[in-house]
Chain A
Amino acid sequence: MKIGIPRALLYYKNEKLWTTFFSELGIEYLISPQTNKEIVANGANLAIDETCLPTKILLGHIDYLKDKCDYVFLPRVARVNGCGMCTKFLAQVDLVKNTFRDDNLNYLFYNQEKDKKKSEYKAFLKMGKFLNLKPKDIKAAYLKARAVQDSFNKQRQEAQEKIFKETKKNKVLVVAHAYNVGDQFVGQPIIRALKELDCEPIIAEYFDEKECIKASYNLTKTLPWAYNRHLVGAVELYKDKVDGIVILTTFPCGPDSMVNEMILHKVKNLPILLLTMDAQDATAGIETRLESYVDIINFKKERANE
């Protein structure tokens, strides 16, 4: 039995959790490749025009996996850390099921409806039972997987904090969802371009989730989405310690459409660049914008030094 894991949306938050869980239980899995032009194009063909880019990418990955595995892994998370999620995460299971209805795919469902202490474990337990596994084994695999994911997050955060303290370059806080900043097609080109321009990209998403969410309440009270709270919290914690903020959004992201505006209203005196990506890639245009943005940062620094 082989399980196909789409490299999209929730994958970027739970990569280690899922892969460790499956490998601990001796289940073979296949992760779809890094997003490329073909995957985006296929996804865009399958989706309704207005759909947001990450969802199009998800459909492209499922399309890639559909004849290469026995089960397609379809996760759904409705709440985390005391906050809700964008309705995309609520809908993705039914969206995929209905889009690929004629392909008669087998799915492996994972559903985390609530955000109580044991919700995640219960979701894994249910999925494991579907695979005819023993509860004892499932629990052991889950605990291991959780620990691996946690230590991965922590290491990543500590590595970034080290760079943050030591670097002499311009520090640019990149505010983007995990599934955007981690994606080879969407976020990585921007990160590379920033590095080429001699900046140090600081990924907002790498900072500790709980700490950020707590801090985000200082900036906004009623923001309903967990992932956006994480980012907003990072902005609140680090806005005075970085040289600029790059907000990277995909078109037409619902939560970001409002939260970005809120950030622009709340954070003043800091150069903020708002980049919006869609299915048509235009890296050349973005490189030019990044160049002039970095010029502004340098210019501002020079004036402050004078």
Chain B
Amino acid sequence: MNNEIIACFPQWANYSHAFRYLFENGFDVKYMTPPPITKKTLELGSKNSPDYVCTPFKYCLGCYLEALSSGANCLMQIFGACRLNYYGELAEQILKDMGYKFHFFNMANVKWTSPKSIMENLRVVNPNASLFKIVKALPTTIAIIETIDEFDDFVRHNVGFEVNEGDFDRTYKEFNEKLDEVNSMRQFKKLKKEYAKKFKAIPINKPQKTIKVGMVGDYYTVQEPFSNYFMEKELAKMGMEVFRDMNLTNTIIHNQWKKRRKVAKRYAKYNIGATANFTIAEALNFAKQGMDGVIQVKCFGCTPELDAMPILQNVSKDYQIPILHFSFDSQTSETGVKTRLEAFYDMVEARRKDNNLEKEKAI
């Protein structure tokens, strides 16, 4: 039997490139970039998941199954403030009962106050891992994540207005491919500089006043484009500028939870759980910035986001801003999503015209 460790973290936005760096340069193991999510991934996941567990669990399970069948033998899961905390253990149990053999690095198992527990759990990935090496790899991993988020933001703001269709996509893909060849901070800085220039050089035709839409939602669905039916792309195609604050940089690297909770305080006295207060604060910020609309995407059954919905409805009333809610499960129709988005666009555009007319009248 081959003893080489091949680690894999479920597909989640574009962060696999950063994780690859961490695992290959820090843990000294091979990293498998998870196969891109397809409908089959979701089908595979749903088939083996409990019925009404939230959809990200199904995506993760599908992803594990695909990764296992293409050779990965060390899987992992993070922890969180909601059902996410239990993802790891249940997925491990389901997969082991299916007969798979693998290591599982479950971060919910770690007692973060005890260095011994941290070391023990890190060694699940690689028994010979050196803490020094892992810590040394962290700054570059963080820099990669920050850059991915930075570029993502730039793309969201501009891709709808590119002159030659596909310019942004092509450059972005190139950047991702080159990221997988990076093995040091120096190489990374060079790459970042190169592509920051390339992105800025893409010709765009952006009007001074664009239609601005903010995206909010649960941690997975808002970040993983497949799970929200590539909504950001669809919105951009209609010529909108998309805003979104929820990413790794704003939540884990530069922790903003407390700040957001303060913003949301007027509507939510307490912590509602997981991303709900963040979502409310973001929607509020978007409303205050005078955006044309907000879209909330969530997976079916996401309790915290569900509890945020009545509050978002109040925000919508108070600030006169349309908020569209999407709840995705494993059987959402793509056409249905598109139709609703089109209707949303028409409404937002009509409102903007009305507002302009009123302004002209006032003058």
User: Given known contacts A50-B306, A222-B109, is B311 in contact with A94 (CB within 8 Å)?
Assistant: yes
A-B residue pair count with CB separations less than 8 angstroms: 114
Task: Give the dominant DSSP class at A's interface.
Answer: helix
Residues of A within 8 A of B52 (CB): 251-252, 257
A225 to B, closest residue via Cβ = B86
User: Given known contacts A222-B106, A224-B85, A258-B86, is B303 in contact with A86 (CB within 8 Å)?
Assistant: yes
Distance between A229 CB and nearest chain B CB, rounded to angstroms? 11
Give CA–CA (A98, B277) in the complex, Å.
14
Instruction: Verify if B304 is at the interface (C-beta below 8 Å from A).
Output: yes
A253 to B, closest residue via Cβ = B52
Given contacts A48-B306, A86-B303, A258-B57, 18 further A-B contacts (CB under 8 A): A48-B309, A76-B270, A78-B270, A78-B271, A90-B273, A91-B303, A98-B267, A98-B313, A98-B314, A222-B79, A222-B109, A224-B85, A255-B83, A257-B83, A258-B86, A258-B90, A260-B50, A262-B90
Instruction: Verify if B93 is at the interface (C-beta below 8 Å from A).
Output: yes
Identify A88's interface contact among B51, B303, B310, CB under 8 A: B303
Q: Are A261 and B94 in contact (CB under 8 A)?
A: yes
Instruction: Verify if A135 is at the interface (C-beta below 8 Å from B).
Output: no
B268 to A, closest residue via Cβ = A94
Instruction: Verify if A82 is at the interface (C-beta below 8 Å from B).
Output: no
User: Given known contacts A98-B314, A222-B86, A258-B53, is B273 in contact with A91 (CB within 8 Å)?
Assistant: yes
Residue among B53, B97, B267 with max Cβ neighbours from chain A (10 Å): B53
Tell me the residues in window 166-192 of chain B with beta carbons closer than 8 Å to chain A beta carbons. none
Q: Are A95 and B307 in contact (CB under 8 A)?
A: yes
Give CA–CA (A265, B93) in the complex, Å.
8
User: Given known contacts A94-B269, A98-B267, A255-B83, is B90 in contact with A48 (CB within 8 Å)?
Assistant: no
Instruction: Verify if A220 is at the interface (C-beta below 8 Å from B).
Output: yes
Q: Are A222 and B304 in contact (CB under 8 A)?
A: no
Identify A224's interface contact among B86, B270, B311, CB under 8 A: B86
User: Given known contacts A87-B303, A101-B314, A254-B83, is B50 in contact with A261 (CB within 8 Å)?
Assistant: yes
Instruction: Verify if B102 is at the interface (C-beta below 8 Å from A).
Output: no
User: Given known contacts A52-B303, A222-B88, is B93 in contact with A262 (CB within 8 Å)?
Assistant: yes
Tell me the residues in window 293-314 of chain B with beta carbons closer than 8 Å to chain A beta carbons. 300-301, 303-304, 306-307, 309-311, 313-314
Instruction: Verify if B162 is at the interface (C-beta below 8 Å from A).
Output: no
Give CA–CA (A111, B307) in the complex, Å.
18
Instruction: Verify if A118 is at the interface (C-beta below 8 Å from B).
Output: no
Identify A258's interface contact among B83, B106, B268, CB under 8 A: B83
User: Given known contacts A221-B109, A222-B106, A254-B303, is B311 in contact with A98 (CB within 8 Å)?
Assistant: yes
Residues of A within 8 A of B79 (CB): 222
Instruction: Verify if B291 is at the interface (C-beta below 8 Å from A).
Output: no
One digit per residue, 1 when the CB lies within 8 angstroms of any chain A CB and 0 when it does not, for chain B 115-137 equals 00000000000000000000000
Residues of A within 8 A of B57 (CB): 258
Residue among B49, B83, B106 with max Cβ neighbours from chain A (10 Å): B83
Instruction: Verify if B327 is at the interface (C-beta below 8 Å from A).
Output: yes
User: Given known contacts A93-B270, A258-B83, is B90 in contact with A99 (CB within 8 Å)?
Assistant: no
